[in-house]
C-alpha cells in the first residue's frame, strides 16, 4: 500500500503537463499576436493619437496573455517541485518549498493580471460604462488578495 501511495504523487504530472502546454500555447499566441499587431501597424503607415492609444491597448492585452502564460508556468513548476522533484533549479523568487509558497506566488501574479486587465479597461473606455462600477470590485479583490499575502507573510515569520 505504501508503494501505491508514494507513486500516487505522480498523478500531479497531469496537472504539470497540462499547465506547461497551456503556458506554451499562451506564449505562442501572444508572440504571434505581437507580430501580427506590429505588421498591421507598419502596414497601415498611419500615425495618430487614436492609433497610438489603440496600439497601447493591443500591447496591454497581449501582455495579459503573457502574464496568464506565466501563471500556468509557475503552477507547473511549483507543482513539479512540490510533488516530484524538490531539487528543481529555479530562480530564488520562484523557489517553492510549500503549498503556501505556491499559493502566494500565484496570488501575486493574479494581482498583476487583474491590474493589467483593469488598465486595458481604462485604455479602451469610451464613456459608455462606469469605470467606478468596474474599478471598485477589482480594487476590493486586489485589496483582499493583498490582505491574504500580508497574513500569509506574517504567519510564515
pLDDT of residue 33: 96
Q: What is the CA radius of gyration of the chain?
A: 20
Whole-prediction pTM value? 0.75
**pLDDT tens for each residue of 42-98:** 888 788 887 788 888 889 889 889 988 988 998 898 899 888 888 888 777 777 778
Percent residues over pLDDT 90 in the chain: 24
Amino acid at each position: 500500500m505504501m508503494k501505491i501511495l508514494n507513486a500516487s504523487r505522480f498523478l500531479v504530472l497531469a496537472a504539470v503537463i497540462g499547465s506547461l502546454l497551456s503556458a506554451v500555447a499562451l506564449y505562442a499566441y501572444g508572440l504571434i499576436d505581437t507580430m501580427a499587431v506590429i505588421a498591421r501597424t507598419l502596414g497601415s503607415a498611419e500615425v495618430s493619437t487614436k492609433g497610438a492609444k489603440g496600439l497601447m491597448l493591443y500591447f496591454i492585452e497581449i501582455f495579459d496573455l503573457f502574464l496568464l502564460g506565466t501563471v500556468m508556468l509557475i503552477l507547473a513548476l511549483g507543482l513539479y517541485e512540490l510533488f516530484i522533484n524538490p531539487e528543481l533549479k529555479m530562480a530564488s523568487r520562484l523557489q517553492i518549498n510549500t503549498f503556501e509558497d505556491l499559493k502566494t506566488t500565484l496570488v501575486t501574479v493574479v494581482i498583476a493580471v487583474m491590474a493589467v486587465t483593469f488598465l486595458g479597461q481604462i485604455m479602451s473606455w469610451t464613456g459608455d460604462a462606469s469605470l467606478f462600477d468596474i474599478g471598485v470590485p477589482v480594487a476590493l479583490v486586489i485589496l483582499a488578495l493583498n490582505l491574504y499575502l500580508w497574513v500569509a507573510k506574517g504567519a510564515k515569520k
